[in-house]
Amino acid sequence: MTSSVFASAATAFARLVRAIPETSWDGPGLGDWDMRALVGHTSRSLITVSEYLRAPADHEDVDDAVAYYVWVREFMGSAGAEAINERGRQAGRDLGADPASVVDRLVARALADVENAGDPVISVIGGLGIRLSHYLQTRVFELTVHGVDIARAAGLDVELPADAVEQSAVLATRVAARLGQGETVLTALTGRSALPPGYSVV
């Protein structure tokens, strides 16, 4: 199930990249990223799947996607925002003159790598050990949330896959609950309060 949702999210991302107007590539993306850097950063959700499948881990440090994001919040806090931004910009440069074709190849490789991989424990960012099935849920989240960012920045009216949106929304809510912010999100979703300005679970 997880791999099929990942395939759905990855395929939708490739379709979205093909729809980006030529005039948008040097325009605004998200925060300090232009569109190219935003797409490059998002494409790393494909690249890392293929790379990390070649890096088996001998220990499982987190037991689900929620724990991964709780851990990442702390890890990224010490990693430095500028370093993260630069990785996105470099990934954007790596897309070259034909980003859509590069993304198509990344999608094909990632899906082929996942197809017969089973569910191994892999070593991801910071050497963290996590099962592939849990890591794929985080990649669905990244592809879907940044898919929304890309569509909005490019002025595209795109309907993202329902299965990917649902899985991402559930994961975000579970992360909020794990962080002790479940009531905040629950009351906002049921119209009883507004989320604090700038609120994010990641």
pLDDT for position 1: 65
The pLDDT tens digits of the residues spanning 183-202 come to: 999 999 999 999 999 999 98
Joined tokens for residue 11: 């395929």
The pLDDT tens digits of the residues spanning 93-112 come to: 999 999 999 999 999 999 99
Residue 191, phi-psi category: left (phi > 0), alpha (psi -120 to 50), beta (remainder): left
Task: Looking at 155-199, list the stretches that DSSP marks H as alpha helix, in order from N- to C-terminal side.
Answer: 162-178, 182-189
Among residues 109, 140, 138, the alpha carbon closest in space to that of 122 is found at: 138
The DSSP-derived string for 53-121 is: TTSB-SS---SSHHHHHHHHHHHHHHH-HHHHHHHHHHHHHHTTT-HHHHHHHHHHHHHHHHHT--S-E
Residue 115's CB is within 10 A of a number of other CB atoms, namely 9
pLDDT for position 112: 97
Q: What is the CATH number of domain 1-190?
A: 1.20.120.450
- Domain regions of the chain by residue span: 1-190
Bridge partners for 28 per DSSP: 34
Dihedral through CA 138, CA 139, CA 145, CA 149, nearest 10? 140
The pLDDT tens digits of the residues spanning 8-55 come to: 999 999 999 999 999 999 999 999 999 999 999 999 999 999 999 999
